[in-house]
Structure 1
């Protein structure tokens, strides 16, 4: 004759914490402590682990939320959906939080930075366990709002003091990429950047570019601005080449801007890698279908998402100041595919 636990398991009924306790030969309080990381003897831990593994038991998120005041959900706030870097960071985040039985809740600001604090407040009010804020631009007022929220928060793509952050070495990536163009013999370079309210993609990358050209007395350059899309990169490159046909190098702060600039070079029948060089920070599959393939500074976006998620989960379980202030800078790799 089957026990009630076996009946629930074998006939497909949802398991309860009481069923797991019965199978493990422990109290329901012991199972609850196990699920919440509490102290138990190794013998009880092993018995509970074996029972959970055998039955496939998963605790109710709603019930856990009622006990802890938070849900097993992670809020993720992104500036835009149509972005290779955003999609890669999201994949990295979900790699980690899925294993920890957290569900992602996505909010998209559509590049409206003023919406970020609203999403953080909304997610906090809905009792998510923590928030990952992607690629934000900071202001003193926004910083105050974010610090007021009593919720674990990690920022990706930026290096902001007072917040846990995971970001890339934008300055040196752009500096090294620019040096590659100069070593190729390019002496009249157009830099296509983005808004410097974005301290990493905008300001740090522009400073990296200027650091490289400042060391070369015979290199001249112009700076054009674009948005985070291909059309504005196209417009900036077309304007630059129309005003100065002797430009022999284009370097872009984003891959999207470079994709737009490539179209201008195709239209002008310029031999890429011969008459003119082009390169960009950020690497995606689109760069590999260009003719020739685009040379880039490759950033490890998926790792960025993974590290941010691990940092957030650590913060959820630990309120120490060292966790709050920890910041991680990821490296990069220059990928020369022939467009320089």
Structure 2
């Protein structure tokens, strides 16, 4: 992605001269032709919106999200928005619909707009993400996925899953199923799953059977129906509360009871989870705080990149009534 600096170096003119040309200032005819030729060669696209952003009294932070229809995303956004308003920053939101290629495109687009920083709620981190983040002249903070080369705000997915499994080992369960998501998502798809499996493996008693769905309630419901046609677990652990809600509907449609026939857990402590019947055993993440921390730190960077660091947001196990208390070990 070409920048004004690239144009100035290729054309052999000062950055101020390129800026003057882009803003319709005076540039000699020979220099104008040289800059135009370089712009065409580098495929540089001047962005009028970027000029408008520079004229704003308050600087702008770009936020890239994977989807709007997610409790964790919207709650994180609320934390970001509230903190940015306190700090007199504007917010510009771009939605990728869980398309990692669009994440790359929005990183480039927001950099062209000359935002003061970018907060990325990533679905995954690839080498292409790293290359673009290192190339653009804008600081970036990632929420939800961890990479040692980047500034990140992450949840303790492995530790939280391990501790929820620790809580569940106080009960007698003979057939355990974990309903997770694809391993493309490092945080939820890999670390969360491994936390459960590793803790249950310590007892050498309970083998965890793993099934995959996606983040939607509908697909979780269909997957749960299919697995219930094959096996009858007495504990179903779900990677998110949304998945657990879909699973709950499937269980009830099979005329089974929660928790008497199947104990059920989620992950995330979504607001709706407390209104289910029974209320869902889950893990609480402070998504609002994660957004607050990301916003606070991106503003502290003041438009400059700093050495990479990782902030970890804590969690809390939330025991509710979706676990069969009669199975508790004496």
**TM-score normalised over the length of structure 2:** 0.79
Structure 1 residue aligned with 2:183:
196
Alpha-carbon distance between aligned partners in 1 of 2:271 and 2:52, rounded to the nearest angstrom: 43
Residue 182 of structure 1, CA deviation: 2.8
Contact 1:173 1:281 in 2 (8 A): no
Aligned residues: 274
Q: Secondary structure at the match of 1:316?
A: coil
Structure 2 residue aligned with 1:333:
316
Q: Which of 54, 57, 74 pairs up with 1:65?
A: 54
Alpha-carbon distance between aligned partners in 2 of 1:258 and 1:193, rounded to the nearest angstrom: 10
Structure 1 residue aligned with 2:24:
none
Task: Check if 1:121 corresponds to 2:104.
Answer: no
Residue 181 of structure 1, CA deviation: 2.7
Structure 1 residue aligned with 2:91:
104
Residue 320 of structure 1, CA deviation: 4.0
Q: Secondary structure at the match of 1:183?
A: coil
Residue 216 of structure 1, CA deviation: 2.1
Residue 98 of structure 1, CA deviation: 0.4
Q: Secondary structure at the match of 2:265?
A: strand
Alpha-carbon distance between aligned partners in 2 of 1:78 and 1:337, rounded to the nearest angstrom: 30
Q: Deviations 1:168-223 (Å, cap 9, x if unpaired)? A: 00001111222333322112111011111111111101110111110122213211
Alpha-carbon distance between aligned partners in 2 of 1:313 and 1:336, rounded to the nearest angstrom: 37
Contact 2:104 2:128 in 1 (8 A): no
Consecutive unaligned residues of structure 2, counting only runs of 5 or more, are: 1-49, 324-330
- Following superposition, which runs of at least 4 residues in structure 1 exceed 3 angstroms of deviation? 61-64, 317-320
Consecutive unaligned residues of structure 1, counting only runs of 5 or more, are: 1-60
**TM-score normalised over the length of structure 1:** 0.77
Structure 1 residue aligned with 2:270:
284
Q: Which of 140, 144, 158 pairs up with 2:131?
A: 144
Q: Deviations 1:130-151 (Å, cap 9, x if unpaired)? A: 1100033111122212211110
Residue 155 of structure 1, CA deviation: 0.4
Structure 1 residue aligned with 2:256:
270
Residue 64 of structure 1, CA deviation: 8.7
Contact 2:94 2:106 in 1 (8 A): yes
